[in-house]
Structure formats: structure tokens, C-alpha cells
Amino acid sequence: MSSCSAPVPRQAFKLRPAHPLPRSSARAAQTLHSRRRRRGLASGGGAAGHASQWQRELRRSVDGERLSPLLNSSSSRGEALKSRVISLPILCSEVPPSYSMGAEEIPVRTAALYASLIGSLVRAQQWRDALSAFASMVGEDLKPDRFLLPKILKACSELERLNSGAAVHGYMLKRWQELQVDAFVGNSMIDMYGKCGDLASARKMFDEMPHRDVVSWTALLMAYTAAGQLEDAAEVFSAMRAEGVKPDLISWNALISGFARKGETSAALGLLEAMREDGVEPCTNSWNGVLSGFAQSGCFEDAIDVFMGLRSHGGAANPVTIAAVLPACSGLRLPGLGRALHAFAIKNGFSGNVFIDGAVIDMYMKCGDWKDAEQVFSSMEKKTAAVWNEMVAGWANQGELEKAMEFLKAMAEDGLKPDVITYNTVLAAYARNGKKDEAFRLVSEMGKMNLKPNIVSINALIAGFQQRGLSKEALGLLRVLQRRGEPHSRNSSAIEDFPSEMLGSSIKLNAVTVTSVLAACSDLKVQHHGMEVHGFILRNSLESNVFVSAALIDMYAKCENMANAVKVFCGARERNTVTWNTMMAGYNSSGEPANALKLFPQMLRKGHAPSSVTLLILLRACSTMAALTLGRALHGHAVKGMLHDPSFFGIDSTLIDMYAKCGSIQEARLVFDSTSEKDLAAWNTMISGYSLHGMAEDSIALFKEMYQSGMSPDRFTFTSILSACRQEGFMEVGWKYFNSMEEIYGVKPELEHFTCMVGIMGGAGLLEEALNFIRRMPFEPDACIWAALLRACRAHSDHEIGQEAAAALFELEPRNASNYIILSNIYTAVGMWDSAMDVRLVMRSRGLKPPATCSWVNLRHKAHAFEAGGRPHPEIERILEEWDRLALEMERLGYFPQDPCLVKEETDPFSCFHTEKLAICYGLISLPAGCPVRVSKNVRMCIDCHTSAKFISRIGGREVLVRDGCLYHHFAGGVCSCGDSW
């Protein structure tokens, strides 16, 4: 889901002035720290609390077998150290030759010797060996200096070993306190904690530094931007200027790239201008940060616009620039522009650069040009692991897993050992394709290659399983991670074969993990698991991540707990377009579209520009509420701003659906006819629209036109066609299409198509035939098919077959009150009052209540909701007066209530207690004479409301349109388009 914002005025993001801040801002850091301390995040989270455990943590950070001799008693320490110093240079070609000597030639072991050795290992990126050497140095009781400790901390951050870095910090506090006040060491500490994700400790270290320079501020700023906490980053930047520290180029670049990575395009570009105004001229790296950030956040058009602007103003481009903008060509599927950039790279001498070639290969493969991708790959003289990884990833991402494995094996044969990144790519592809066993075997194979899965491996598996629909397996994998070292749980078949012994203790859940896990909880509607994850999020300060908060909102909404969803939304410190979209979509899914529409103006007032997804969500809300006027306004906005946006996938079919469900089938057809490239979704939606309006002939004619155009129907097409054939007189046509589905069109009938046939037969009164059809079908009947039969029994007052259908439904859906009500109404219709009363008593004993009904009527861009049992409308007196007037006129014309009511219940036969009656009356008194009244309802219309609407359309000479979730009813002149069959 793209969250890129359209350009907005630059004042949407304002830097705080470089003057003394208000007193409230001066206390901001202390308040933030105090709040984290109360949550237990600031105290002992990575400083002195670790001092007593330094040796144990260091031992965990590297290979235990190699490190343990170095930390043994002093008697063996010398020989162990000799062995270590001899072996370490062999691991790194950059170690000076003077260290490659026999044990008897080792000079006196000094801090300088260790510093030189560790420096060589760090330059060679031998992080584990650097930590091993440092552990040996500590074992010799040699003191590091202010230049060596930053190298050790860098090794900890590169390995993401928070415990190791914290142990070094703790030992420094205990043994080398004078280094605590050194700004060089302190800056490295902030950087280490930030890169390891411990922002609380990074902030605590920063607050305790007696002397802070621009590097200190920048290190903290980069920690916040890397974590996506832009509000905190902006506060740090403003406080930095307020304290008289002038941001340098690196500071500005960090802040700008942070906003770019989050898709905040307007803010990022505004910051570039502010950077110039502050006297710091953006360099090529500044532009590269913007380009790569936009590409990473899916703002591909913005990335290309920035690149074109850079070149038109004579800006320099380097290999990183080209590598940053090529993914935008992939994202927009613009191979022509990608080839132009490839030619530009060759012309400027960038060809042969591994980053450029890797990005070019990736671009060609994602654009489907495999031949050119393999040609570039074959022409490379030196293929790095990263380039091999691009080829493996390209095939894996296309689902060509065998081809991906071939390249993985060829990589090893070429003398390059596949790394964790290589395996993670294939693991993700296996998981996305639902190949659980193959993925787990690949994890075991990693062990044979002396590789261990990292958090990226786990995230790839969990996210892949969830996307494939294997949400139980995704949660099972989370349980494995939580129970490392414990026996496997037999309660989860998803984890029995997972090699849990491969999981190291350093793997820590992060924001990506919890986002995927929450999506799995949403799929399974297991709120209790989701709440456990929510607790973990709060304990680890992940709630400020906008994607985590959006996932929480989505989970609670799909678990039908809108109260908690609203709490998370209101408590989110930072919101972006994704957050607002998720909240509005949550309202839609929970049957509260009016609240979704109310949220949209608030989103605009907060300065968030709507994305294509925003409009799709709002159009669906309009569809639910029959909000035609607002739907038209949104259509106009789409035409002006984003209708031709490549990312605006599905807009045509969504507009067709909106107009059809808002009662304007003519406008739906206009959108359909104006769609230049009609995909299957557009055809299906238009056919479904005709079906919704009971226009069977139009549905069939459009189906024939679609087939003649060369478009093949799918199962959704036939669901719409068969639904249209429920109209009286189309049973034979329905059977014709049903019987020819597989033979002529190659679409195998599924349960939904059998359900449509039951509806067709039931509508024609062939209830016995429909029951036998259910008994003979090759599927186990579900609640939908029995509900179709039960509704037909209600229409034809057949209590015997109705009892059988209801009995099946009571077993399948014991908590669905609607089934009990329909059966009770059938009994009442045939005069079986005692049986009807018994059903009602069963409902009460089980605590079942009828579903909350709600009807909407839209007037002047405002939705008016009438909810059963809800707060009365402000104009309820006028509405009831209108109903009284209509009721008298209806009685004169021969109307009598048709609601089944039980004996001994005294009810005013003309009382207005159904929500669609209230909505219709309000429309009549509020709309100009002759204007159609459009009402939407969340449940099927009852017989009495249907009859009332016919009389009202006759009395007032007014067209009344009511959509009840099943059919669109056009009432005019006392007649309904459904022919009284729905």
C-alpha cells in the first residue's frame, strides 16, 4: 500500500526557529525520558546495569568454543592468546605481515598491539574476530583507549549485538570511567545503541554527556530517523539549533533522507530548500538520500521527477544516484526509462560498477526482461555476492524457485559462498508460495554452511506465510522464537519440523516482525494473541512506528473491537496517510462507513494528502451508504489528480461499483463505457451492477459482449450472471449458464454457484427441488446455501423445508439471530403461533439479539444515520409527523401492516419503528420536490417496509431507491423493480 503524499504547500512541515525554545520545549527531553523510565526502558537499559555481566555477554557475542580459552584462568591465558594472535591474521588479508609469525616470535602483548590487530579486523569487516580479540585484550587486563572503543562498538552495531555493546558500556563505567566523558566515545555509544534499536539507552547516553558536539546531535538524530520516529527526530533537530549547534551537511542529510524514506515527499523537498536557506548547499549525497528514500517508500514518480530536476539544473550524478533511481523504473514498469539510465551509466563510465550492474539487473528482471538481465550478468567480469544475490532474488521473486536454486548452487560453484542475504531471499519466496517444508529444509541447509538465520530470515518466513494465507503457521513460528531452548509444543503442527536449534539468542523481534504477526492475528481474528503482541509493543517502545500502529488498528478493527482501534489511533504520536487509511478502512469493515467519511475532513485538516488508497476506501464507504453526491465529488477529485496514476489500480471498477450501489446505474455504465482498457474486474463489476438492480437482460447482454471481445469469464462473472437470473422468468437461462460453465467456458462450478442455483429455484417456488439439489451437490453445504433456502421458504411460507434449513443453520451458526427470526416469521405466516413463540424464547435463553439495523440517507454531502436503538435524530418529531401523514393516506389506499407479530402483543399497526421508514420520511421532508430519495440499509428489507415504500412512491409521486445489501429496489408509482421477489 502506497503512502506517498501529493505535493502540498511547503509550510506543511516547519522547522522550529533557531532561537531559545519555550520552557515547555526545554523540558521535552526530560519528559520523554521520564515517561520511558516509568515504562522501565531507561533504567539499567544498557549502561551500568550490565557492568557485572560484561564477560558473559562478550562470550555470547562470538563463537563460544574459540572465545572460551581466552577468558579462562591466567595459567592458560598466554598460550591461548598466542594461538589467537597467530590465527586471527589468517582470517584477514589486511593484517600487516609483521603479525604473521610463530608463537615464539610474538612480541610483548601490549594495548597498542591489540589496537593495531583490532583495527585491521574492523577494516576487513571481520566483526566477530574483532570482538574475540577485544575479549582477549580484556582478559589480559589491558586498557583500550578512546580510539579503540569506538571500533569495538562499531563491531557490536554491525552484528546488532545490543547485549555485547551494553556489556562494553557497563565495563567502561566500572573500569575506565574517564572514557565516559570523552565525546568521541560517547558519540560511538549513541550510534551503537541507535543502530541496535535501543533508543531509550541512546537518549540516556546523550542526556548524560557533559559535552555534546554536532556529531553527538547527529548520532541521536540518525537513531530516530532510522527507527522512523520523525517527530522525535524533528524535535532533536530543533533543539540542536536552539542550543546554538549549527547542523552540518550530515545532519541535514540524515533528517531529509529520514522523511524521504517515510514517503513524506513534500517535507523532504521542503527541508532541501530550508537547508539552502541555512547556508548548507546540498551535495550529491543529499540528492541520493532523497532519491533512494522515495524509491524505498514507493514514491516512484517523485523519485524520477527529482532525478530529472537534478539533471536539468546541471546537478552531478554518480553511480549511487543511478542505482537509487533505477528501482523507480522497476516500480513503474518503465523499461524504456531504465534502458536510458543504463545507457547513461555506460556513457559516463559507470559500467562495471557492481552497484550499478546489480541495480540494472534488478530493473530488467522486475520489468520482465530476463534476456537483458542475464546478458548484463554474463558480461560482468567480477561478480560479487551482491550481484549473485540479485539474480537469485529476481528468479525467486517471480516464483521461479527451481531457477533461483540453480543460481544459488552456481554461486557456490563460482567460488562465492552464499550468505544470509542469499538464503533470506529464497526463504521469502518459499514462504510466499506456501512451501513450508522446503523453507524449513533451507534453514537447516544454512546450518551446514555455518550460517545462522537472523531476524530478517524470521520476518521473511512469517510475512510470507501470512501473505499466502498460512496465518496459523506464521503464529506458530512466532511461538518457536519465543520458546527457544524449550521442547516443541505439540499444539502447533506448523512448527514441528522447524529446526529451532538454528535460532540464536541474538534474534530479537522488531517492528517488521510484529507488523506481520498482527496481520496474521487479523486474518484469524484471534484478538487475545493480538493483545499479547500489543503488550510486547508497549514494553519495547515500538508503538511510535506508524506501520506498527496501523497494524494494531487493523487487527482490532477486524476483531470487531473498534473501541481499542480508536484508542490506538488517538494515542498514535505520529500518523501518516497509511494510519488514516487503516482507520477509515476499519470503520468500513465494522459497518460504520459514516465514521469513515467523517474522518476524511479531519485527515485533510491535519495536512495529510489523500493517496489512491484513500479514495478507494472512501468510494467503498459511499457505496455502502448510497452517498451519491459525495461519490461524485470524489470521482471529480480522482479525475483531476490521480485517475491516471499507475498506482491507482482498480479505480474504474471501484467507480462503477460505487455508482451502481448508489442507485445510478446509468452513471455506472458511463464510467464503464469511458474506460479505455477494460479489464476483467471492470466487466464483472458492471455485470454485477446490473444484477444488483434486477436487470437480468442487461447482465446477459453484457456477458455476451464481454465474451465476444475475447475476455474469458471467471468464477466471479458467473456468480453475477447467476445472481441476475434469480429474477422471475430467467430460471431456464440460469440452468443453461450453470451447465455450460465448465464445458464451454472452462470454469468449474464452486459452492457459490450452487448457492445461486438454490436461490433461482427457491425464487421460482421449487423448494423440494432445491433441497434435493443441495443433497446431491459435490460440496458440503455451508451456511450461505442453507440461508438461501430458508429465505425462499419464508417467501413461499413453507415451514417444513424451512425447519430443515433452519436446523442446519442453527448447527453451523448457533449465534446468528437472523436465522431464528426468519424461522419465527415463517411459523407466524402459517399461523403456528406457539412454534413462533418457542423460537423467540430460545433466542432469549441464548442471549441472542437481532442484528443492529441501520439505514442512511445522504443530504448535501452529509450522511444521516438511523440506527435501531440508537440516539434519535434531531428532527425526529418532524419525521414522525410525516410518517403519520403518510400512514393515514396509506390506510385509505388499502395498506395494512404485513409485519408478522405474535399473539397478545399489542403493537400500533402504523408505528414507524423500522429504520428505512425513518430514512425515507426524512428524505421526503428534506429534499426538493421530485428529487429521488436514496436510502441504504445494512440488512434485507422486511415485507412491511417493502410494501410501505411502494405506497409512499405512489402517494408522493416520488422515486424511492433502497439498497438492502442484497438488491436495489426502485420504487416508482407503487411498483418495485424486484417484482416483489427478493
926 in the same domain as 896:
yes
Residue 124 lies inside a defined structural domain of this protein: yes
State the residue range of the domain holding 875.
856-976
pTM above 0.75, yes or no: no
CA distance 566 to 588: 13
Q: What is the pLDDT of residues 22-52, one digit of tens each?
A: 333 333 334 333 433 333 333 333 333 333 3
Q: How far apart are the first and last CA of the chain?
A: 38
Cα dihedral value 914, 917, 919, 924, nearest 10: -170
Residue 585 lies inside a defined structural domain of this protein: no
Say what the pLDDT of residue 72 is.
Answer: 33
Grid cell of 935 as nine digits:
436510502
Residue 919 lies inside a defined structural domain of this protein: yes
Number of domains forming the structure of the chain: 3
Q: Is 419 helix (H, G, I), strand (E, B) or coil?
A: coil
Q: What are phi and psi of 626, to 5 degrees?
A: 55, 40
Residue 877 lies inside a defined structural domain of this protein: yes
CA distance 126 to 143: 21
Say what the pLDDT of residue 181 is.
Answer: 67
807 in the same domain as 863:
no
Say what the pLDDT of residue 496 is.
Answer: 65
Q: What is the pLDDT of residues 755-803, one digit of tens each?
A: 999 999 998 899 999 999 999 999 999 999 999 999 999 889 999 999 9
910 in the same domain as 811:
no
Say what the pLDDT of residue 776 is.
Answer: 95
Say what the pLDDT of residue 461 is.
Answer: 93
Please answer whether residues 977 and 969 qualify as being in contact, where contact means their C-beta atoms are separated by less than 8 angstroms. Answer: yes
Q: What is the pLDDT of residues 49-75, one digit of tens each?
A: 333 344 444 444 444 333 333 223 333
Domain end residue (candidates: 157, 181, 205): 181
Query: Cβ–Cβ contacts within 10 Å for residue 149, how many?
Result: 21
946 in the same domain as 876:
yes
CATH code of residue 805 = 1.25.40
Residue 878 lies inside a defined structural domain of this protein: yes
CA distance 926 to 916: 15
Specify the amino acid at residue 277.
Answer: E
Across the chain, mean pLDDT equals 81
Residue 808 lies inside a defined structural domain of this protein: yes
972 in the same domain as 885:
yes
List, in sequence order, the alpha helices (H) in 177-299. Answer: 183-195, 199-208, 214-226, 230-242, 249-261, 265-277, 284-296
Please answer whether residues 653 and 663 qualify as being in contact, where contact means their C-beta atoms are separated by less than 8 angstroms. Answer: no
Cα separations (Å) of 181 from 115, 165, 830? Answer: 21, 17, 90
Domain end residue (candidates: 127, 161, 181): 181
866 in the same domain as 843:
no
Say what the pLDDT of residue 624 is.
Answer: 86
860 in the same domain as 836:
no
The edge-to-edge listing of strands for the beta sheet with 933-937 is 862-867, 854-859, 933-937, 960-963, 968-972, 975-976
Residue 873 lies inside a defined structural domain of this protein: yes
Please answer whether residues 541 and 200 qualify as being in contact, where contact means their C-beta atoms are separated by less than 8 angstroms. Answer: yes
Domain end residue (candidates: 158, 181, 204): 181
898 in the same domain as 868:
yes
872 in the same domain as 803:
no
938 in the same domain as 874:
yes
170 in the same domain as 145:
yes
**pLDDT below 50 — which residues of the chain?**
1-106, 488-494, 643-644, 646-647, 900-912
Say what the pLDDT of residue 397 is.
Answer: 82
Residue 477 lies inside a defined structural domain of this protein: no
Say what the pLDDT of residue 642 is.
Answer: 54
Q: Is 862 helix (H, G, I), strand (E, B) or coil?
A: strand
Looking at residue 211, the DSSP 8-state letter turns out to be S
948 in the same domain as 878:
yes
